[in-house]
Amino acid sequence: MSGGVDSSVSAMLLAKEDYDLSAVYMRNWDTRDEYASDKGCEWEKDWQDVQLVCKKLDIPCELIDLSREYWNRVFEPSLRQWEFGISPNPDVWCNREIKFGALLERLPLETKLEQGSWFATGHYASKSWFIHGSSTRPKLLRPVDSHKDQTYFLSAISEAGLRRALFPIGHLTKPQVRELAKEKGLSTAERPDSVGICFVGERAKFNNFLSSYIPHKPGPIINQVTGQVVGEHTGLWNFTIGQNARVPGMPEKLFVCSKDVESNAIYLVPGSSHEALFKRKLHVPEFTWIWGDAPPQGIDLPEGARLDLMHRYRMAPVPCTVRRVENIELVIECDEPQHAITPGQVAALWDNQWCLGSGVISEAS
C-alpha cells in the first residue's frame, strides 16, 4: 500500500473476500539524503494514511525500508544515464527491481507471508491465465480504465512476479474507485493522485534536484538548421528530446532534436513539428519478454511480427513491425513517424490488450 486511494480500495476489496490479508508499505527513498533534511517525499504522511486505512479495514500493516535497494538498483543506474544525456524511466525499473523484485525477496523474511502467497497492488492493470503447452501462464492485460492504464509501468516485471500478482481495481474506473472509498469512509478517498518522481521531494524543478548529484558540464546549444550557437547548457541531462529549449532572444520557439555526447552539444530545430523530431525506426538492444522463452511468432522472419508500441506513458498505441536482429535485440519500425522518440525511455509492446514486455531505446532513426 502506498497511502493513495487506489491501493486503499484494493485492500478494501480483498478484505471483503476470504483472504488472510496483510498490508505492506515500502519506504523507497531516504529523504535525509537530501542535504540531511527529512522533508520531501512525505513518506511519514503516506505511512500514516496506510495505517489509518488498515485500522478501518481491520487488517495488519507494516513498513519495510527498501531505500538502500532503491538507491542501488534504481536511482544510481538512472543517475548514470542522466549524466550521459539519456532520459531513463525510473518508475518502470522501480516496479521491476523493487516492488516486484526486492520487496518480494524480502517479504518471506520480514512478514508471515508464505512464498506461495498472492501479492496485490493498486495498479490499473488486469491479468488472465492462458494455457500454453503443458503449463498455465499469466498474461498482463490492459485495465478497463484506459485513461489510467499502468501496464506500461509494469511491462518489465518478470513472469514469476506477475504469476503472484493480483490487480483488484483492474475492472474499475478511477471515479468508481473514489466512490467506493467514499462509501467506505476511507481517509484517502479525496487524496490527489501522485505525480512526478517520489525522490524529487519538495523541489519544484527536477533539474535542480539532479544538479545536486551530477556536476555541471557546460556545452553549446546549436541551431541544427543554421549551425549557429544560440546558447550554452550546464549539462545534457537538463534537456530531453522534443522539449522546448526556451532560448531567449529567438524569433521562434526552438525544440531539442538530438544530443551529442562526444561533443557535449545539444541541437535544436524550429517548431515542434520539424521533420527532425519525427522518427519511424527504433533500436532496443536488450528487450525482455515477460514470457522469456516464448516471444511472439514472426519476429525472426523478414516480414516481422505485427504488434502495438508505446514509447512513453499515456501515448496512444501505434502499430508497428518488430524484427529480432540478435538474441535479445529488436528493431521496431512504426507505420507512421513518431514524435520525440527518446533514448533511455522504455519501448513496450502489446498484442492487442496483452502486454508482452519492454526494453530501453538506444537510438531512433
Domain match, 245 and 171 both: no
Q: Is residue 205 part of a domain?
A: no
What is the percent of the chain with per-residue pLDDT over 90, rounded to a whole number? 81
Q: What is the pLDDT of residue 109?
A: 59
User: Does one domain contain both 124 and 32?
Assistant: yes
Question: 272, 287, 321 — which closes off a domain?
Answer: 272
Q: pTM for the whole thing? A: 0.92
283 in the same domain as 268: no
Would the pLDDT of 41 be above 60? no
Residue 63, φ and ψ in degrees, nearest 5: -100, 135
Residue 208: inside a domain, yes or no? no
Helix locations, the chain, DSSP H: 5-15, 43-57, 67-70, 76-83, 90-94, 103-110, 151-154, 159-164, 174-184, 206-210
Asked if 301 and 331 sit in the same domain, the reply is: yes
CA–CA separation, 66 vs 74, rounded Å? 11
Give residue 32's pLDDT: 52
CA–CA distances in Å: residue 294 to residues 152, 289, 357: 20, 8, 11
Judge if 18 and 163 occupy the same domain: yes
Per the structure, how many domains does the chain have?
Answer: 3
Per-residue pLDDT reduced to its tens digit, 333-362: 999 999 999 999 999 999 999 999 999 999
Catalytic residue numbers, as ranges: 94, 198
Residue 62: name the closest of 21, 115, 105 by CA: 21
The verdict on 195 and 222 lying in the same domain is no
- Per-residue pLDDT averaged across 123-127, rounded? 98
- Residue 110 and residue 175 in one domain: yes
* Tens digits of residue pLDDT in 212-247: 899 999 999 999 999 999 999 999 999 999 999 999
Do residues 287 and 331 make contact, with C-beta atoms less than 8 angstroms apart?
no
Residue 168 has a pLDDT of 98
Q: Which domain holds residue 322?
A: 278-364
Say if residue 257's pLDDT is above 90. yes
CATH number of the domain encompassing residue 245 = 2.30.30.280
> What was the pLDDT predicted at 327?
81
Assess whether 44 and 171 both reside in one domain: yes
CB 270 within 8 A of CB 352: no
Q: With pLDDT > 70 as the criterion, what percentage of the chain qualifies?
A: 91
Last residue of a domain, which of 200, 231, 249?
A: 200
